[in-house]
Structure 1
Amino acid sequence: MVALPAMMNAIDPAETGGPEVLVPVERPVPVPASGEVLVRVAAAGVNRPDVAQRVGSYPPPPGAPTIPGLEIAGEIVAIGEGCAGAEIGQRVCALVSGGGYAEYAAAPFGQCLPVPDALTLVEAAALPETLFTVWTNLFERAYAVEGDTVLVHGGTSGIGTMAITLGKLFGLTVIVTVGSEEKAARAREIGADHAINYKDRDFVAEVAAITGGKGCAAVLDMVGGDYLPRNIDCLAEDGRHVSIAVQRGLKAEIPIWKIMQRRLTLTGSTLRARDAGFKALVADEIRRIVWPHAEAGRLKPVLDRTFPLAQAADAHRWLEQGDHVGKIVLEP
């Protein structure tokens, strides 16, 4: 049995605010509940929802830790009841509802994935949040299948780079939007078929040109606001639009007649508040369909840079600056 300390270093801000509220503090090491394992965290991903939680616009769901951090990787050091198959010392990565910015974190075992030799723990920590999000929204809610052309906004973000990666693994033609020619070139290096600099080109016109006027089978949108009616103009007949964030606003005016005429589907989701049973089902599907690509070394995250846990504030500043490509990771 691994001897565990009573206390750990963590980032657990007492108030909302700017990055400066992210300072190291001591917190009790979690005790895994039934169905949970305790993971000694080797790395934790940094994501936009962490920033939203920090500023007070995305509070943790009931029962979730106040410590931010939605994805971790490390080794199991304690096991709660009802975790058949869990082993002390097993390397796992996990989607969690909070608690990642710490030296130890409790994770539902059903939301854990075994880390194969082809992945480092830092790489593994950068996978769960974007992998679960893109899989459930682009492949399940938008029904993207081999041969489809899809439009993904934020092409060099963590979500965008994961959408490119999965799109290439599963036979999609991926069009992304980005904010500079440098990022467009980087997106194409990662595997995007087309990258549109939205600052100097109209992405609606560009999508029409790329698809010969036919449009896309699906749009994955994290922008919201006035992008929604423009996204609708990018969709082919029977196209599917999935909203996963609203960076440009919560409301939009949409052309209902176009939705009726072209039989479009508008949907969306948030993942954090979904129950553990749903997330376990997603994890099982990913384990069966997607994870063999990770085991073979074909599925890896695009890593931008890592920061020590104590420099979480700097990690948030870098994320908010918007110059990153891919994922930012903390190492306790």
Structure 2
Amino acid sequence: MATMRAIDIKGGKGGIDALFINDKTPKPQVDHAKALVKVKCFGLNRMDLLQREGKYPVPPQAPKTLGVEFSGTIEELASESESSFKKGDAVFGLAYGGAYAEYIAVSTHMLIHKPDELSWEQCAGIPETWITATQAMYLIGEFAPGKSILWHAGASAVSIAGQQLSVANGASAVFATARSDEKADFCVKELGAKAGYNTETTDWAAEVQKATDGKGVDIIVDYIGPQTFAGNLNAAARDGRIVNLAALSGTAFKPGMPEPNFGLFVGKRLRFEGSSLRSRDEKYQGKLRDQLHDHALPKFKDGSFKVLIETVFDWKDIQDAHRLMESNKTKGKIICTVS
């Protein structure tokens, strides 16, 4: 059996020190509509930290190797692959897993041709981030021009993408929260948010109400969970949509967390909906790939949309990359190059 190098986890799960490069990893095979891509770069996502610890529900079709977004060149194509791709093409894309490796087998329905205007590192930071933001805004949040929107964790990669999408696509107002003044200011100065709020020092929900003359925001995209739940109910407008993508503050209400007024659900006619991208089928993800390609890619090419990269690591330093992500001090993507 052909082998390759890939990031592996000693014992199958564990802490950062368990990460290592395994040079005896089986090289993936392609069938149906898949391509074999030689990976140039891959992007880190918070789900990688959870999967490393055995705390993430990995889809059944995913390999055990971490990583869902990458850039690279096509080395082989299966018989049912999309006709627009050929061997040698420079591409980037989204996968169910396996990106922390020399090679990845991925459906051509989830690939995009790499533009000359973008680097390998930039392309590896687009797929999961921008597709997740698009899904949250449009498919779940029902965004339309003229609606207002609030992005929690404003300096996270998904919210950085989401704020740019919101401004470019006609939001009446874009708001963001973060855990420091520096990150809140970053959202305003660099991403075009109307206001950014430090959740550690301000009553952000009250400030959103003031900024909207008591109306509230039409869409809230949240990753925090219990800690922001009460504030979300207060900050949302009537008929608002609250989209929950993660629970970084835990999965249960704890003493000291703000108590939610559940009467606001009825009084405001709110909808609270959870969602994830990785668990979706290929057809669903493919539609989002098409939307990214048709609507966002031209703006990447002309520089209107920016892929903000915090740090680029050699993949030999994967432990340092995971430590940086766990620090919660980043503004933008962490990318690894495969050497």
TM-score normalised to structure 2 length: 0.93
Q: Deviations over 1:214-270 (max 9, x none)?
A: 100100000001311210110111110000001112245754431122111111211
Deviations 1:280-313 (A, max 9, x none): 1221222222222223332221110011111111
Partner Cα separation in structure 2 for residue 126 and residue 20 of structure 1: 24
> Could you tell me which residue of structure 2 aligns to residue 98 of structure 1?
97
Counterpart secondary structure, 1:290 = helix
Q: Is 1:6 equivalent to 2:27 in the alignment?
A: no
The aligned counterpart of 2:256 is none
Higher RCO (CA-CA < 8 Å; seq separation 6+): 1
Match of 1:67 in 2: 65
CA RMSD of the aligned region, Å? 1.6
1:270 aligns with 2:276: yes
Shift of the 24–59 alpha-carbon distance from structure 1 to 2, 3 Å rule, reads farther
2:312 corresponds, among 295, 303, 306, to: 306
- 2:37 pairs, out of 36, 39, 49, with 39
CA distance in 1, matches of 2:35, 2:106: 5
Task: Write the distance in 2 (CA, Å) between the matches of 1:233 and 1:17.
Answer: 39
Per the alignment, residue 133 of structure 2 pairs with 134
2:221 paired with 1:220: yes
Matching residue's letter, 1:87: K
Q: Which residue of structure 2 aligns with residue 292 of structure 1?
A: 298
The residue that corresponds to 1:52 in the other structure is: 50
Aligned to 1:190: 190
**Cα distance in 2 for residues equivalent to 1:298 and 1:39:** 28
Q: Distance in 2 between matches of 1:143 and 1:62?
A: 29
1:328 is aligned, of 319, 322, 334, to 334
Q: Which of the residues 15, 18, 35 maps onto 2:15?
A: 18
Within 5 A, what are the aligned runs for 1:146-295? Answer: 146-172=145-171, 173-191=173-191, 192-251=193-252, 254-295=260-301
**Structure 2 regions of 5+ residues with no counterpart?**
254-258
- 2 CA distance for matches of 1:281 and 1:138? 14
Q: Does 1:78 align with 2:84?
A: no
The question of whether the paired residues in 1 share the 8 Å contact of 2:313 and 2:337 is answered with: yes
Q: Post-superposition shift, 1:210? A: 1.2
Contact persistence 2:231–2:260 (CA under 8 A): no
TM-score, reference length from structure 1: 0.95
Task: Give 2:26's aligned residue.
Answer: 28
Aligned length: 328
Distance 1:319 1:61 in 2: 23
Query: Which residue identity is paired with 1:22?
Result: L
